[in-house]
């Protein structure tokens, strides 16, 4: 239902065992471990093995379940379940379920509750945007911010070779200086599994103005490098007894040209809408009584 997990919820820890009947209570509503089991099995099955079960995955499912429950409760408080949109969607769903005989399946009630929550969540999002619509002026203002920040600045694709010793880092630099291919050198010297698999370069384009804020140390190493260049001295990171030595490489670099507003306004509108919805979700969660099981 929700695209992003609010930051305040991500900080929650759930101390209850996954075998406990109640994992967490949301405004008095108990969330049971059997539903997490069901969602875990469904997700793993649908991913065809790409998703692996484990504590972190279970925590994610619990957090999502808490968000879903709190938002469904808020939607009911706002009487969105009394609207024609809700009634029509639910009635259509009931007809389809009945036509397929799905009401006889063992997981019917759990699936139905999840469907109701999804419908309520979607209506909550629409309600937020209907009450706080995105205006053309807001889109223009965000476009101006983007253009002022990024236009005619550079963005880069960065590769890195991570080693546990300075000697290996120096050997990697020597090999790169001898014009050997970056992927081959990274595969030889890096301890990073991605590099060993031939994926040492992050394909994501990273604006240097963002890198300067988020990772100033890396920015200092790469901001003046051109395409195909690398730092000639390893960057030392970590503690004294657990250091790593990193060689950064610029796989590609170009100047950002911001498109015209008409080519960006839909994306900007969606981004503003997502921000508004997530702010509303956070406000609901901040007011909710969320109690992890002991």
pLDDT given at position 12: 39
d(CA 193, CA 228): 22
Say if CB 176 and CB 190 are below 8 A apart: no
pTM (2 d.p.): 0.78
H or E, element range at 25: strand 22-26
Give the residue range(s) of CATH 3.10.50.40 domains in the chain.
153-255
pLDDT given at position 237: 86
d(CA 136, CA 124): 23
- Running along the chain, 294 residues long, what does each successive block of 10 average in pLDDT? 39 41 93 91 88 91 96 98 96 91 86 93 97 97 98 97 95 96 95 91 96 96 97 86 92 97 97 97 97 86
pLDDT given at position 148: 97
- Residue 163: left if φ>0, alpha if ψ -120 to 50, beta else—which one? beta
Q: In whole angstroms, how far apart are CA 121 and each of 4, 215, 283, 285?
A: 13, 36, 15, 14
pLDDT given at position 86: 96
Count of alpha carbons within 13 Å of 219, Cβ hemisphere only? Answer: 13
Question: What 3-state DSSP class applies to 40?
Answer: helix
Give the residue range(s) of CATH 1.10.4030.10 domains in the chain.
7-134+268-292
pLDDT given at position 104: 85
pLDDT given at position 49: 79
CATH T-level fold of 7-134+268-292: Triger factor/SurA peptide-binding fold (1.10.4030)
Q: Which residue, among 117, 91, 145, has the nearest Cα to 1 in the 3D structure?
A: 117
d(CA 215, CA 211): 5
Q: Which residue, among 202, 172, 171, has the nearest Cα to 185 in the 3D structure?
A: 172
Residue showing tokens 């395409």: 227
CATH T-level fold of 153-255: Chitinase A; domain 3 (3.10.50)
pLDDT given at position 203: 94
């Amino acid at each position: 239902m929700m695209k992003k997990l609010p930051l305040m919820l991500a900080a929650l820890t759930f101390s209850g065992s996954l075998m406990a009947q109640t994992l967490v209570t949301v405004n008095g509503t108990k969330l049971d471990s059997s539903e997490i089991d069901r969602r875990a099995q469904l997700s793993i099955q649908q991913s065809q093995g790409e998703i692996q079960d484990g504590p972190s995955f279970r925590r994610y499912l619990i957090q999502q379940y808490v968000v879903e429950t709190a938002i469904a409760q808020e939607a009911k408080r706002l009487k969105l379940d009394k609207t024609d949109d809700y009634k029509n969607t639910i009635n259509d769903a009931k007809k389809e379920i009945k036509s397929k005989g799905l009401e006889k399946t063992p997981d019917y009630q759990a699936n139905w509750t999840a469907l109701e929550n999804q419908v309520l969540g979607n209506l909550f999002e629409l309600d937020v945007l209907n009450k706080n619509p995105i205006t053309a002026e807001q889109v223009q203002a965000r476009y101006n911010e983007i253009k002022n920040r990024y236009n005619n600045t550079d963005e880069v694709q960065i590769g890195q070779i991570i080693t546990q010793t300075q000697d290996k880092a120096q050997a990697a630099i020597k090999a790169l200086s001898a014009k050997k291919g970056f992927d081959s050198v990274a595969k030889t010297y890096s301890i990073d599994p991605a590099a060993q698999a031939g994926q040492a370069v992050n394909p994501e384009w990273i604006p240097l103005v963002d890198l300067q804020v988020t990772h100033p140390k890396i920015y200092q190493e790469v901001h003046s490098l051109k395409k195909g260049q690398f730092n000639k001295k390893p960057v030392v990171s970590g503690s004294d007894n657990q250091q790593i030595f990193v060689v950064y490489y610029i796989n590609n670099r170009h100047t950002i040209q911001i498109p015209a507003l008409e080519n960006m306004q839909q994306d900007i509108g969606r981004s503003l809408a997502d921000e508004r919805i997530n702010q509303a979700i956070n406000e609901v969660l901040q007011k909710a009584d969320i109690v992890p099981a002991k």
